[in-house]
Amino acid sequence: MEPRSGCAINAAVEALGDHWSFLVLRDMVFGDRRYFRELLNGFIEGIASNILADRLKKLVAAGILTKEDAVRGRRARYSLTEAGVQTLPILFALGNWGLDWREGTPELRTRQELMRAEGPAFIEELMDELRVRHLDAPPVPREGPGPFERLEEAYRRARAEAD
């Protein structure tokens, strides 16, 4: 699709779409949801199946996701492309803005708080891990838990404190 103007911000907004597209990316990145039903059932905001199908189709058309063809007995799986992996800094920036300017629950804010505290190196680690999960890149050697394990542990602790 040809962008409406040559403005880089406009081109990015047209490719990434509306808030539903960002939430689909959020759930793929942080929830590792790769199948239509996982995305549909996992949305804490609730999303209609026709809206989800439309956003997935648009993200594939924009080159942000790929969709494996479903073969008999298997569901189609979505994966991030490199362009999709590169949306992580955008999600990080949006989350930081949300921390500063919007209310939220402690357990749902905790991952963003951890990413902010850990800084750009942590975002790079997350991107490397996404490349392993979605692009079949070789794993990056590291000591201790990986970035997604650290995010999940922070969320688990925040939920336990909330209960």
Q: Summarize pLDDT for 116-129 with one digit per residue, the tens.
A: 999 999 999 999 99
Type of residue numbered 5: S
Distance CA 85, CA 102 (A): 25
The pLDDT of residue 109 is above 90: yes
Q: Kindly indicate the confidence band of residue 73, based on its pLDDT and cuts at 50, 70 and 90.
A: low
Where exactly are the structural domains of the chain?
8-80, 87-162
Average the pLDDT over each of 71-75, 98-102, 127-131 and give the range with the smallest value. 71-75
- Report the candidate in 73, 44, 43 with the shortest Cα–Cα distance to residue 55: 43
pLDDT in tens, 17-26: 789 999 999 9
The CATH class for the domain spanning 8-80 reads mainly alpha
| Enclosing H/E stretch for 78 | strand 78-80
